[in-house]
Amino acid sequence: MTVSYNRIFCNLMSTEDVSYGRGIGCGGREGGCQYNRFYKNIIRNTRAPNQIGGDHNYFYYNIIDTVENTEVEERRYGNGQGIVLTPGRSGYPEYISCYNKIYNNVIYNCDEAGIEVEDWHDGYSVKYNEIKNNIILNCGKNSVKDLDHVGIVIGDYSDPEVPMTCRSNIFQNNLVYSESSTNVVFYRGEIISVERLNTMNGNYGDVITENIQSDPMFVDALNSDFHLLYLSPAIDAGINVGSCMDFEGTPVPCGRKVDIGVYEYH
């Protein structure tokens, strides 16, 4: 079975009245789930993470607004992430999460991390994924994993003795910020600042450059307006990923360089 070359776009997804429900999930063995595109979706008030597995899938210019940990007893291990790059299914060692592209998303108000790159099923392959130009604001707000205020998780947080099966991933030009902490990244056993994260470039084959830690200065995040204000540090702070239009159809770039997040400032 293959589930490839699909486009899922311009949807409003919510599971507000569902005890365990996610917005988007894809996964499979190499070649079995690939070249799917998820873009310009609003995913709001869910109780499970968006899981991206398979290979060469694209998740870009989406808004993820509020993901809570579920109260379903057998799943109360902390699954309130915005996006998790994971093979996503135990008992299938051939499943992977490789060469996926996570670009220009806004991830806001998650109980756990905004983005987690983690092999939940030890020994599977989570490699060569690209995480670029994303804004992660006020995540880790109600963590059950002792990852308070952490916006990005890279590597195994539960058992440092587990082999590092997620490696050689790319983290560039992301903005990560919490109003409550300066240490907003979990990197392979340690909770650190974004500035410190950038010094980890080259570890385990990871490419880590030009990530920033600053208030993105949204127009009104509390009311889900994620446009950038004039002095936002996200303006012209992104990296070219080949996009030609933002969430609203504004040309990219609109200024000197690509903006971080879903909206080009204009």
* Digit-coded pLDDT (tens) for 85-136: 998 766 677 899 999 999 999 999 999 999 999 876 666 789 999 999 999 9
- pLDDT at 75 exceeding the cut of 80: no
Q: Are 138 and 178 in contact (CB under 8 A)?
A: yes
Q: Which domain holds residue 37?
A: 7-228
Which pLDDT does position 158 carry in this prediction? 63
What is the 8-class DSSP label of residue 234? T
Within-domain flag for 244: no
**What's the pTM?**
0.95
Q: Are 88 and 46 in contact (CB under 8 A)?
A: no
Could you give the number of structural domains in the chain?
Answer: 1
Among 225, 218, 229, which Cα is nearest to 266's? Answer: 229
Which pLDDT does position 70 carry in this prediction? 87
Within-domain flag for 249: no
Between 48-62, 143-157, 167-181, 216-230, the lowest mean confidence (pLDDT) is in 143-157
Within-domain flag for 243: no
- pLDDT at 62 exceeding the cut of 90: yes
Among 22, 26, 20, 21, which Cα is nearest to 8's? Answer: 26
Within-domain flag for 242: no
Which pLDDT does position 166 carry in this prediction? 86
Residue 129 CA to residue 55 CA, distance in Å, equals 9
Which pLDDT does position 130 carry in this prediction? 98
Within-domain flag for 264: no
- Mean pLDDT for 217-244 is 97
**What 3-state DSSP class applies to 73?**
helix
Unique residue bearing structure tokens 């903006």: 259
Within-domain flag for 174: yes
The terminus-to-terminus CA distance of the chain in angstroms comes to 44
Which pLDDT does position 74 carry in this prediction? 62
Within-domain flag for 40: yes
Other Cβ atoms less than 10 A from the Cβ of 82: the count is: 30
Residue 254 amino acid letter:
C
Which pLDDT does position 256 carry in this prediction? 93
Within-domain flag for 135: yes
What's the pLDDT band for 1 if we cut at 50, 70, 90?
confident
Among 44, 53, 65, 55, which Cα is nearest to 26's? Answer: 53
